[in-house]
Chains A and B, each alone.
Chain A
Amino acid sequence: DAKTTQPTSMDCAEGRAANLPCNHSTISGNEYVYWYRQIHSQGPQYIIHGLKNNETNEMASLIITEDRKSSTLILPHATLRDTAVYYCIVRAPDSNYQLIWGAGTKLIIKP
């Protein structure tokens, strides 16, 4: 599976959009991009995934560049409860079910 690179930490003001980048320059054509987050002392939580097109759900939007070498997770109106570690993962659908977890981005939402 392709490796991902994320900033170690980011800050965002409450109510503003939080944009979390992820580089996956070695991604293969059939690999999906997944985003999970882990709030302190809880298990990881699935947020969204995508292949080529931009995706949106009730939690966030995922923007994938045309060359698929990077993506951005957007939390449109960040709240204090969005403070968490955000993980970007890439995986092929025909691979095993192991998700390779990096260090993620520690996002701190400030009042």
Chain B
Amino acid sequence: DAGVIQSPRHEVTEMGQEVTLRCKPISGHDYLFWYRQTMMRGLELLIYFNNNVPIDDSGMPEDRFSAKMPNASFSTLKIQPSEPRDSAVYFCASSFAVQGKVPYEQYFGPGTRLTVT
């Protein structure tokens, strides 16, 4: 398996522009997570999905952030409008639950490094 795929790997944009980050989870996984990592705040969970349905978006910082999962193999995280303080590495992770049990292991993608100037 190719693992979790994220694109783009690097994104540089100007303040006010729309940014869309993409994620393809591992086939067969039913949980998908979006994280943000900065030096100041570390790794933070933004939102997670179960079977394509958003379950907890309490970590989404503002209304400027939105996430969708139209099908089991694709998810997007959109920032509109972007601001310099959104500069961070954004990770997507996926996992699966065995017989309804809590998934222990999350598989992370390589991340998207976003720079907003």
- With A and B bound together, what is the CA distance between A78 and B4 in angstroms? 27
Kindly identify, within residues 23 to 78 of chain B, every residue whose CB is under 8 Å from any CB belonging to chain A: 31, 33, 42-45, 48, 55-56, 59
Chain A residues near B109 (CB-CB < 8 A): 43
The residues of A that contact B95 with a CB separation of less than 8 Å are 97
Complex: how many Å from CA A98 to CA B35?
Answer: 10
Shortest Cβ gap from B103 to chain A (Å): 7
Residues of A with C-beta under 8 A to B104: 32, 34, 46, 49
B112 shortest CB reach to chain A, Å: 11
The interface size bin for chain A is: 10 to 19
A97 touches B42 (CB 8 A): no
Q: Tell me which of A41, A42, A49, A102 contacts B42 (CB under 8 A).
A: A102
Q: What distance in Å separates the Cβ of A86 from its nearest Cβ neighbour in chain B?
A: 13
* Distance of A102 from chain B, by nearest CB (Å): 7
Please, how many residues of chain B have a CB less than 8 angstroms from a CB on the other chain? 25
In the complex, what residue of chain B is closest to A100 when comparing beta carbons?
A: B45
Chain B contacts for A101, CB-based, 8 A: 42-44
Residues from chain A with Cβ under 8 Å of B4 in the complex:
43
Across the interface, B110 reaches (CB within 8 A) one of A42, A93, A97, namely: A42
- Is there an interface contact between B56 and A98, defined as CB atoms closer than 8 Å? yes
Query: Distance in Å from the Cβ of B49 to the closest Cβ of chain A?
Result: 10
Interface centre among A98, A102, A103 (most CB of B within 10 A): A98
Least CB distance, A21 to chain B, in whole angstroms = 19
| Contact in complex: B111, A97 (CB < 8 Å) | no
28 contacts between A and B (CB under 8 A): A32-B104, A42-B110, A42-B111, A43-B4, A43-B93, A43-B108, A43-B110, A44-B93, A44-B106, A44-B108, A45-B108, A46-B104, A46-B105, A49-B104, A49-B105, A93-B101, A96-B55, A97-B56, A97-B95, A97-B102, A97-B103, A98-B48, A98-B56, A98-B59, A99-B45, A99-B106, A101-B43, A103-B42
Please, which residue of chain A has its CB at the minimum distance from the CB of B48? Answer: A97
Closest to A95 in B: B102
Give Cα A101–Cα B104 distance, bound, in whole angstroms.
14
Give residues of chain A (46-88) contacting chain B, Cβ–Cβ below 8 Å. 46, 49
